[in-house]
Amino acid sequence: MQNDRLAKGGRIDRTRPLRFTFNGRAYTGFAGDTLASALLANGVRLTARSFKYHRPRGIVGAGVEEPATMVELLGADASGNRPVTTVELREGLAARSVNCWPSPAVDLGAVAQLAARFIPAGFYYKTFKWPNWHLYEPSIRKAAGLAAAPKSPPVGGRYETRFAHADLLVAGAGPSGLMAALFAGRAGLRVMIADEGIEPGGALLSRRLSIGGRPALDWVAETVAELEAMGNVTLLRRATVWAYREHDYLLVTERAPDRTGLLERTWRVRAGHVITATGAIERGLVFGNNDRPGVMLASAVQSYVNRYGVAPGRRAVIFANNTSAYTVAADLAAAGIEVAAIIDSRSDVPAEARAAVPGLPIRAGYVVTTAHGGRSLRGVTVAPRDGGEAERLDCDLLAVSGGWNPAVHLFSQSRGTLRYDDSLASFLPGDAAQSTCAAGAAAGAMELEAALASGAAAGASVAGVMPPDTPTAPDLAYAVTPLWRVESARGKCFLDLQNDVTVEDVHLALREGYATVEHVKRYTTGGMGLDQGKTGNINITGTVALAQGVPMQAVGTTTFRAPYTPVSFGAVGGLRDGPLALPYRHTPLTAWNIAQGAVMYEAGARWRRPGYFPRPGEAMQDAIDREARAVREGVGVYDGSPLGTFEIKGRDAARFLDHIYTTVMSTLAPGAGRYGLMLSDDGLIFDDGVCFRLDAQRWIVSSSTGNADAVHRHMEMLLQTDLPDWSVFVTPVTAQWANATICGPKAREVLADLGTDIDLSPEAFPFMSLRDGMVAGLPARIVRVSFTGELSFEINVAPRHLPALWDRIMAAGAPHGILPVGSEANHVLRVEKGFLSLGHEVDGTVDPYDLGMGWAMSRKKPDYIGKRAVEIRRATGKMRHELVGIIPEPDVQIPEGAPLTPGGHRQASEGFVTACVKSVAQDRWVGLALVDDGHARHGEMAHVRLKGGKVIAVRITRPCHYDPDGERLRS
């Protein structure tokens, strides 16, 4: 029963009841309700438990400022930690409170309240640090509550992103934002105006005001209609401008845009100008037990009464330090709700304010010292501010107003400065850093007529037209005298309801030396909740200022960061989801591989590649063994197309390769190639590859698969910035060539059987050379390189020819038992040979000598990238990690990355295992490792220490477990 629904009024549709559940109980509300207003209409006051102490909490605000009640939405569009005041009611909505179990009324975590005095700020930092935080984290996280992330993405909709350009972006469609958009739109600017609310109007929706002698909402409706009729204006509803980034780039997320099938749409807007017409947010007051359910922001009370037709209480007390709450008292009285008293901390109440509440009792110079009641408010104790006799007033609603903070979040995000204004007792936008200006209450124009004029002036200024006249709009003059906290308060005085931060916590932080407001924030967590302290941060600044005896401007604010309100991951990702997030790259053989039952891997740079080809019922390791053995004993073939490939040409190409590789390339004859290491300026290995000379000025160069883009960028940067007068052109041709690499002792026979006009004899076509010709009737380039340690022919063809070539190879190789080879077997073969792999042995910390490849460092060349740095570093003689082979004894697998420690003791590591494979050549597990001073330790034993303390002894060997002289690959 909606017992607390007023008989009439509100912008709800009483003909459209909506059913919903909260914490498992069924209720009804109306279209136009938020979950918060519907709960209040149903008399639900206890809606949450607090984060740390599990104190009972209710609904405090009416919009994005809500600090107390977060809910988790259940069902198809599950999402966690939504402020209850921002959840639009819909049929079948199911929600539950966070931070409590099983319910806010029966919360087993509430025992924390008993221990509250032992959990001051910094308690967790001080207490749960030995042996480390991670031991305690899981159970503390569980106790701390907040909703978990949904287990699966929401169904029944998707997210998308749009890009937009606008001459003017207006954030907020309250009175000033609408005015700004109206005059800029009329002047012909491309205007985008976004408002976070269900409908435009901002604060006008919650108040009873007039513009030009007619109801203000009539003016809103007319203005919205005019804006929507303009082709150059885009009006977004339910759309929050949540980030203001560099160069006037803003992010706007629109919830449930009109067309079906979209959950949220994020607009990425580059604006010529931005007007932040974001309004103002009311702040709370700080007194004892100021968190009891029934203590609400006065503006929220006004919103529930006027906009939603809800009575949040039957007997109200108002507690304020400013005039705005007097309009709330008047609206409550008009709705038939008893106002027991207006407690005003100021001694002098303006006559205009008194006149707004005829007949209501006003206690000037009084404060509320404490609120009474547990799960709901039962009364308050009031006393003269300067001391005197206290008195208890019964009430079930306390509407508090500590004044108003202009919502400077976006302005501050844009890096504009803030200045403290004494007359408004709040921070206002100062100097703009981008094409930004604030308008309306966000600029400190707190009364309606001033806000309208401010918006009109801002819009006209951007449009370059004369500021128009704006209509009359009477409003109670705003006057405030700050009251950062009630000093005679009794009970816990909360500054940040969401994170349970009290005045005592701030004082503790100051005593312990956290003397700036940024440090206070981090130590107490004040302002670090989902609400980002929208109602409470100013009181923290005030509390610090009072304690330190310095002005507010000197204390300042904490940094306003994006997002302004919580944003879902889906809204950030948009359509970049699943396979679209980072599309795979395919070679021409993906379909064949999948048809053969290959288990597909990613082989760096998003290339899809077969990992191994299991036969029915065959275990993974057996399949890998079979493929690797085929290469060692017979013949195998793999698709090497993803390998990064570049064509480099130009007068200075040879000189350039000499500059970027450690070996001498320029002496190569056409058709010959050489292996080289590419170093960074600091003398560490960046990549390795082979360079083949095609003719005097043309080369083919390879790079690691996953590093191809970085190598390309590196070469281009050198050529474009450091060496602009060198005549060299780099063309990535990775996808212009596809290849099948036949490898194994029988590779030459298979290639001969395919039919080729190239002389395959070792004398005519030696290792590390390249020949162009015909293979199996297809134009091809054969390269004799080897990544397996066996005789290999890399047959490069146009990608469209690869499937045909592949079929011919499989047919020609069948009599020799040819097998397709996946990347797992390739890994076994390269580890047996001690060949490098980027990300394994080459991890950005090693130089060529560390890997036993000092021979690749040319001494002939006076200079090349990295040479000097390697020399300087090696001259220090410091111990280095050096590459070795390891043989586990006993014969067991060792996980990649496992540390080696001296004697296997619990000590700092002396190296780590980079790879460990089941060798088919040795029929046992072998590996590679980077170990301190490894080259001098061949033959010694070392020890791998696994998680849990298990120790495995390994024999250190040279880093080549097979054919160390390379006779087979040269054969």
Partner 1 sequence: MMLIPCPFCGPRTESEFAYGGPVRPPRPDPATTAEADWVGWLTEVPNPLGPVEERWCHLRGCGSWLTLWRDTRTHAIVGGPQDAE
Q: Which residues bind partner 1 (CB under 8 A)?
A: 245-247, 249, 268, 270, 415, 433, 681-682, 713, 716-717, 720-722, 862-863, 867-869, 872
Tell me if 45 sits within 8 A of 376, measured CB to CB.
yes
> What is the H or E stretch that residue 192 is in?
strand 191-194
**Containing H/E element for 842?**
none
Q: Which two tokens stand for residue 501?
A: 């931060």
Question: Measured between alpha carbons, how far is residue 696 from residues 402, 699, 812 in Å?
Answer: 81, 8, 36
Smallest gap, in angstroms, from Cβ of residue 857 to partner 1?
14
Q: Are strands 881-889 and 397-401 parallel, antiparallel or unpaired?
A: unpaired
Contacts of 815 (CB under 8 A, 6+ apart): none
Q: Residue 722 or 940: which CB sits closer to partner 1?
A: 722
- Alpha helix (H) residue ranges in 482-617: 503-511, 517-524, 537-548, 552-555, 569-573, 590-595
- Shortest separation between residue 237's beta carbon and partner 1, angstroms: 25
Q: How far, in Å, CA of 792 to CA of 631, rounded?
A: 10
Q: How far is the CB of 713 from partner 1 (least distance, A)?
A: 6
Quote the least distance from Cβ 708 to partner 1, whole Å: 13
**Would you say 16 or 165 has its CB closer to partner 1?**
165
Minimum distance, C-beta of residue 438 to partner 1, in the bound complex (Å) = 18
Q: Which is nearer to partner 1, 7 or 875 (CB)?
A: 875
Q: Is 86 helix (H, G, I), strand (E, B) or coil?
A: helix
Q: Which is nearer to partner 1, 268 or 674 (CB)?
A: 268
Would you say 633 or 682 has its CB closer to partner 1? 682
Bridge partners of residue 241, in order along the sequence: 252
Q: Which is nearer to partner 1, 458 or 715 (CB)?
A: 715
Assigned token pair, 687: 């990549």
The residue (of 245 and 606) whose beta carbon lies closer to partner 1 is 245
User: Which of 868/905 has CB closer to partner 1?
Assistant: 868
Q: Considering the complex, what minimum distance in angstroms separates the CB of residue 583 from partner 1?
A: 14
Q: How far lies 406's CA from each of 66, 257, 279, 438, 439, in Å?
A: 16, 28, 6, 10, 10
Q: How far is the CB of 694 from partner 1 (least distance, A)?
A: 23
- Please, which residue, 365 or 573, has the CB nearer to partner 1? 573
The DSSP H or E segment spanning 448 is helix 448-463
| 3-state DSSP assignment of residue 770 | strand
Task: Please confirm whether the linkage preceding 566 is cis (ω < 30° from 0).
Answer: no
Q: CB-wise, 579 or 862, nearer to partner 1?
A: 862
CA distances from 715 to 378, 686, 838 (A): 75, 12, 18
- Phi and psi dihedrals of 894, rounded to 5? -115, 130
* Angstrom distance (rounded) from CA 448 to CA 204: 9
CA distance 628 to 610: 14
Q: Which residue shows structure tokens 């604030």?
A: 438
Under 8 Å between Cβ of 186 and 167: no
Question: Which is closer to partner 1, CB of 250 or CB of 831?
Answer: 250
Q: C-beta of 249: minimal distance to partner 1 in Å?
A: 4
Phi, psi of 122 (to 5 degrees): 80, 0
Q: Which is nearer to partner 1, 281 or 677 (CB)?
A: 677
DSSP characters over 929-952? EEEETGGGGTT-EEEEE-GGG-EE
* d(C-alpha 494, C-alpha 408), whole Å: 23
What's the first-to-final CA gap in the chain, in angstroms?
A: 90
| CA geometry: angle 350, 341, 215, nearest 5 deg | 65
Q: Report, in Å, the least distance between residue 679 CB and partner 1.
A: 12
Q: Cα–Cα distance between 159 and 260 in angstroms, integer?
A: 11
**Cβ 883 to partner 1 shortest distance, Å:** 24
- Is residue 48 within 8 A of residue 58, CB to CB? The reply is yes
Whose Cβ is closer to partner 1: residue 872's or residue 936's? 872
Instruction: Find the shortest distance in angstroms from Cβ 166 to partner 1.
Output: 14
Nearer to partner 1, 321 or 434 (CB): 434
Q: Report the distance separating Cα 693 and Cα 712, nearest Å.
A: 18
Nearest to 620 by CA among 837, 840, 926, 893: 893
Residue 475 CB, shortest distance to partner 1, in Å, is 37
